[in-house]
Structure 1
Amino acid sequence: MATKTKPRISTVHKPGSGAGAGAGIGPWLGIAFLVVLIDQLTKITISKLFAYGETLPVTSFFNLVLVYNPGAAFSFLGDQGGWQRWFFTAIAVGAIGFILYLMKRHAGQRLFCWALALILGGAVGNVIDRVAYGHVIDFLDFYWRGWGHFPAFNVADIGISVGAFLFIVDELRRVNKH
């Protein structure tokens, strides 16, 4: 009489293994999609309700305003005649590809993938603007009394900033474990 043996379970750690690894990148792409959706809906709404440069005071430290940014963060290279549109689009497309690669490789690392998903959604949202309009639509204007205005930004920028913060937190946690 032959006895049946159970197959051995491998305990070798592979990139992307761990809690939630079986889900793949689908959930992370869903988060990125939500960032893009909210970003584009808010930009479309502001563009329909405001004329360029129009400002609506909301609080003593916040306005809604419709402005265009043909450059990068803080209008870097915004006055360069148009080549920067395609330059920043190409950089963003490269970053999007790299983010997708990292997500696929590390899908089970929750905080890391949250960071990547938010950055991905923000990058895609701003690339859509650059390709469709030649500039990024910004509309959130914060300021503090005599200190002046922080450069206007949008939901995509929030996704990128929060994602970058989470990325730093994740890296600090990883370093502190070792």
Structure 2
Amino acid sequence: MNRNLFITLLIIFNIAIDQISKVIVRMTMIKGGKGQINVIKDYFQLIWVENKGAFLGMGSEMNSTLRLIFLLILPTVVLCYVVYYIVKTKTLDKLSLIAFCCIIGGGIANVFDRIVFGEVTDFFFINLGGIFKTGIFNVADLSVTTGMVMLLFSGIFTNKKKENISA
């Protein structure tokens, strides 16, 4: 498959899965946690909230000008640069390329929400009884996080390969 087509399709896939999940949440749930759904007891729940800020609501208290700069303009510039970078850098390994596509797709999906709705729809919540607990997040956040973890693994594997070659 053509590399640029692969990049485009993977980014679109990440955006589509996120936006479809958000449409389903908006159509079927009650906002504000009143209609929470226990998927796996209290450990994994669906709770619909709207987030004016970034990750875990950070920045939601900023004035509208700062929110525009830090939650719309800056992320859009960064996302455009990353798209440019992955299209131009033909030497990226497959794992890094997929990781960047996940990050870009998730980032675009959340920026889209901020442009269209003025806030981001979040709905996943995990609470493993004091061992591990998340804030409320969405599929786009999951895409970005997965992409970041994949980039870390890619960097570790790439460095180990270089060490083995030079040894």
User: Counterpart amino acid of 2:57?
Assistant: S
For residues 63-115 of structure 1, give each alpha carbon's deviation from its aligned partner in whole angstroms, at most 9, with x where no partner exists: 11110111111111112243343121112211211111121123453111101
User: Counterpart amino acid of 2:11?
Assistant: A
Aligned to 1:115: 99
Q: What is the identity percentage for the equivalent residue pairs of Structure 1 and Structure 2?
A: 22
Q: Which has the larger radius of gyration?
A: 1
User: Counterpart amino acid of 1:82?
Assistant: S
Aligned to 1:57: 38
Matches within 5 A, 1:23-38: 23-38=2-17
Higher mean displacement: 104-113 or 118-127? 104-113
Structure 1 residue matching 2:40: 3-state secondary structure: coil
TM-score, normalised to structure 2, is 0.86
Gaps of 5+ in 1: 1-19
Provide the rounded CA distance (Å) in 2 between the counterparts of 1:138 and 1:112.
Answer: 27
Structure 1 residue 59: Cα displacement: 1.2
Structure 2 residue matching 1:158: 3-state secondary structure: helix
Structure 1 residue 148: Cα displacement: 7.8
Provide the rounded CA distance (Å) in 1 between the counterparts of 2:160 and 2:65.
Answer: 43
Provide the rounded CA distance (Å) in 1 between the counterparts of 2:57 and 2:90.
Answer: 34
Structure 2 residue matching 1:140: 3-state secondary structure: strand
Provide the rounded CA distance (Å) in 2 between the counterparts of 1:73 and 1:154.
Answer: 10
Structure 1 residue matching 2:30: 3-state secondary structure: coil
TM-score, normalised to structure 1, is 0.81
Aligned length: 157
User: Counterpart amino acid of 2:101?
Assistant: A
Contact 1:115–1:167 (CA<8 Å) still a contact in 2? Answer: yes
Aligned to 2:123: 139
Structure 1 residue 78 and structure 2 residue 60: aligned? yes
Provide the rounded CA distance (Å) in 2 between the counterparts of 1:49 and 1:133.
Answer: 18
Structure 1 residue 99 and structure 2 residue 82: aligned? yes
Structure 2 residue matching 1:66: 3-state secondary structure: strand
Structure 1 residue 126 and structure 2 residue 110: aligned? yes
